Amino acid sequence: MNTPSCGGPPGKSMNRRDRGKDIGGCAISGIMAENGELFSGELVMRSIANMRERANGLGGGYAAYGIYPQHKDHYALHVMYESGQDQQTTEQIIQQNCLIHEAEPIPTHPLHVIKQRPLLHRYFVTVKPEQLERYYDLSEDDIMANIVMTINTDVSGGFVFSSGKNMGIFKGVGYPEDIGQFFRVDEYDAYIWIAHGRYPTNTTGWWGGAHPFGLLEWSVVHNGEISSYGINRRYLANFGYYCTLQTDTEVIAYIFDLLLRKHDLPLEVACMAMAPPFWAEIERMAPEQRELARTIRTVYGGALLNGPFSVVVGHSTGMIGFNDRIKLRPMVAARHEDRLYIASEEAAITEICPKPDVTWHAQGGVPIVGKLKNGAEDSAVAQVAG
C-alpha cells in the first residue's frame, strides 16, 4: 500500500517542500499540574491557537504526559510511515528487539486542511529479556534509544517521533489547532501539556520536522534558531545520537537526554551548559561559582546552544522553560494554585487562566522549573484507574 509523500528530508525517500527562508516567530505553550491532576488537551489547544499569527501552517504539535496509564510501564512508540513497505521494515526491527504488548493506528479525525498525511501507528513495547542480557552494560532506556536511532537512520520512510513511557507526541504539517483536531488531542487527559505552532526559518516544513521533538521521556518545543546546530550535531554523534529529522531543534532533545539522563547532571548545571554565562561574566563570579562555570564551558562546549531561542521541555516529572543567555526570544510564565504556565505571549496564558496568582518574564539563561509533588504521578494514574 502506498500513500502520498508526507514530505521528508534529503537522504530519505520522502520529498520535502522546497521554499525560501521565512522570517517569523514560532509559538510555544506549556501547562503543568504539579499536583498530578489530569486535564484535557483542549486547554493547551486554546492557548496555542491564541498565537496563530506566529505560525504559518507548516507545523504544529503537542506532547502530553500521563495519557497512557494502562501502559505506564511500556514505551509508547509513535511512528510515521511513507508506505506499507516502510511499516513492514520498521515493525521487523521492533519485533526483533521488543515485546509488543499492543499495536494500533493512532486515532485521528480526518480534516480537509491536513494534506499528504503519512501512515501513523503506535506500539506499546518493552525490550526483550534476551536483548537486555545481550547488552548487559546498557540500561533499557539506552537500548530503546538505540532502537529509535536505528529506525530513524536506516529506514528510508519510517520515523519514530515519540518513544517515552506514559506520554506521547502528536505533530504534523498544519496549524496547531488543526493538528490538535486531527489527532483528537482534546480527548486525552494529561498532567503536562506542551504545544508548538511552527513558522520554519532555516529548515524545511514536513511531518517529521514539526515540533515537539522527543526521545524517551524528553519532549522539546522551541521558538528561535539554533545557529550552532552543526557543532551540536557532530558533538552528539560522539555519544550515539544521530539527527535525521532536518530541524535544528532536534539537537536540544538529545542534549537534554545526554546531560540529564546519561551524565546525571543537575538541571541547573545542564541548562548552564546549554546557555552558559559569557567568559567576561564568569571572570567576575565568586571563586567557587567561577570554577564550576569554567569547567562546564570547557567540558560541555559542544552542548552550547548559540542563537536566539526560548524552549519548553517536558519530562515525566516536570516541565522546564528557558531562554538563550541574552533573551532574544520572548517567554512569559505564570502560576495559579498548582498549575505552572509558560508561553511565548502573556495572552496565551490569560486565554485559559484569566487571573493567575503571579506572572513574570523569564530571565536569560535561568530556567523556570515545574516539578511534580511527591506522589503526584501515582495520583495521576489513580485518577484514571479509579
DSSP assignment of 181-230: HHTTGGG-EESEEEEEE---SSS---TTTSSPEEETTEEEEEEE--TTHH
User: In terms of residues, how long is the chain?
Assistant: 386
Q: How many Å apart are CA 51 and CA 335, to the nearest integer?
A: 20
Exactly one of 6, 26, 271, 353 is catalytic; which is it?
Answer: 26
Q: For the sheet containing 98-105, what is the strand order?
A: 98-105, 119-127, 75-81, 158-162
Task: Give the H or E element holding residue 158.
Answer: strand 158-162
Question: For this structure, is 353 an active site residue?
Answer: no
Q: How many Å apart are CA 168 and CA 181, to the nearest integer?
A: 16
Grid cell, residue 256, equals 537534554
Q: How many Å apart are CA 323 and CA 269, to the nearest integer?
A: 15
> Please, is 23 exposed, middle or buried when counting C-beta atoms within 10 Å of its C-beta (0-12, 13-18, 19+)?
exposed
- CB within 8 A of 346, min separation 6: which ones? 332, 334, 359
Bridge partners (DSSP) listed for residue 53: none
- CB within 8 A of 289, min separation 6: which ones? none
Catalytic residue IDs: 26
